[in-house]
Amino acid sequence: MSLLLSNFATPNREKNVERLLDDTQIERFLGMIDEAKRIVICAHVNPDGDAIGSSLALKHWLARRGKEAQVVVPNMFPDFLQWMPGAQDIRVYFKHEEEVRPVLEAADLFLVADMNEPGRLREMETDFMANDVSRIMIDHHLNPGDFCQMVISHPEMCATCEVLCHLLWQMGEAERLTPEEATCLYAGMMCDTGAFTYASGRAVIYECISMLLSRGIDKDRIYRKVFYTASLARLRLQGYLLYVKLRVIRERHTSIMTLTNVERQRFKVKNGDTEGMVNMPLVIHKMRLSIFLTEDTEQPGLIKVSLRSVDNFPCNKMAAEFFEGGGHLNASGGRVHGTMEDALQVVDRAIEAYAKWLA
């Protein structure tokens, strides 16, 4: 049985930090780490800023404890995250299975960051689950699965990096965080909240930010690296998507954009150049839902689905019901097996099924 800690959150009045674990649970958590000799940190497929940030923050924290850990992700992460401290050491499973599989086989402890189900590892799941060693989940997604021996899950928090902030603070690490750790934590929180424009209304989030700023991070540089550093290809693609590909269903307050691999090649799009583009149509007056469909560059016959919404539209429910996915209320993702035309048909059915939410 897993030790599920998702409901154990009582306020610690000192700086309003939330206490995630009791003393016995902290002792167990640290004991599992200290006993391990080969720690592997894993994050979900198509890793985003929170997945990479939380994984690297854990890696840096473990290094301070004298523990060497390797970060392994199922496939490549966006270019705009390559600057993060330690990113150059991340191992990518897809197309490198023969090199990475021995790392997974040799692990004697898995730390699962920003991931609630092993299925989110996709092709890496089989090798991950074949090694039946202890696993610790640190996450903020709904409905954590029962595949880890310790589960630290807090869906009310804005990011897995926020969960880590509270955990490290509670363990007395706040004054010991290195600028590298703090940078990774801040970047992850920033990415999962759209630069703190959604899912970031809890006051304690800004207590965490204050703590991270005190550790010497350059938040302006982090913003520039993530949001204000673009290739010429990205700018041209952005104009093309908005002028040519954007379809607006006004009676449903919904927008749809699509991108094929032929179009990627035309605009010389690199990994990460499409990040955030799903958010752009939401600036249209009265728009409630934005859907972005892209052909997967690594798996033919797979369409990736990105959903973004405003107010109370449940992207996570639509993603789970129609797109084999999930996520958060206003930001979720999924997939459709088939052609772009197949995916558009599923999108049309999903929009009609949620018509009352989009009226």
Residue 42 · residue 58 · CB < 8 Å: no
Q: What is the pLDDT of residue 16?
A: 62
Q: 22 with 136, same domain?
A: yes
State pTM to two decimals: 0.87
Q: 139 with 243, same domain?
A: no
Q: Mean pLDDT in runs of 10 for the chain (359 residues)?
A: 41 60 96 97 95 98 96 93 97 96 98 95 96 97 94 96 96 95 98 90 95 96 92 93 97 97 92 88 97 92 96 95 91 95 98 96
Residue 71 · residue 87 · CB < 8 Å: no
Strand runs (DSSP E) across the chain, as ranges?
A: 3-4, 10-11, 18-19, 39-42, 69-73, 91-92, 109-113, 134-139, 150-153, 247-249, 254-259, 289-295, 302-309, 326-327, 331-337
Residue 121: give its domain's CATH number: 3.90.1640.10
Q: 174 with 275, same domain?
A: no
Domain boundary among 193, 227, 261: 227
Q: 210 with 317, same domain?
A: no
Domain boundary among 206, 227, 248: 227
Please classify residue 39 by burial: count the beta carbons closer than 10 Å to its beta carbon, then call 0-12 exposed, 13-18 middle and 19+ buried.
buried
Q: What is the pLDDT of residue 289?
A: 98
Q: 216 with 254, same domain?
A: no
Q: What is the pLDDT of residue 231?
A: 85
Q: 208 with 280, same domain?
A: no
Q: Which residue has the tokens 């002028």?
A: 243
Q: What is the pLDDT of residue 229?
A: 86
Domain boundary among 227, 249, 268: 227
Q: 223 with 236, same domain?
A: no
Q: Containing domain of residue 324, as a range?
A: 232-358
Q: 244 with 222, same domain?
A: no
Q: 3-state DSSP call for residue 313? A: coil
Q: 221 with 246, same domain?
A: no
Q: 318 with 281, same domain?
A: yes
Q: 103 with 203, same domain?
A: yes
Q: What is the pLDDT of residue 73?
A: 98
Q: 199 with 254, same domain?
A: no
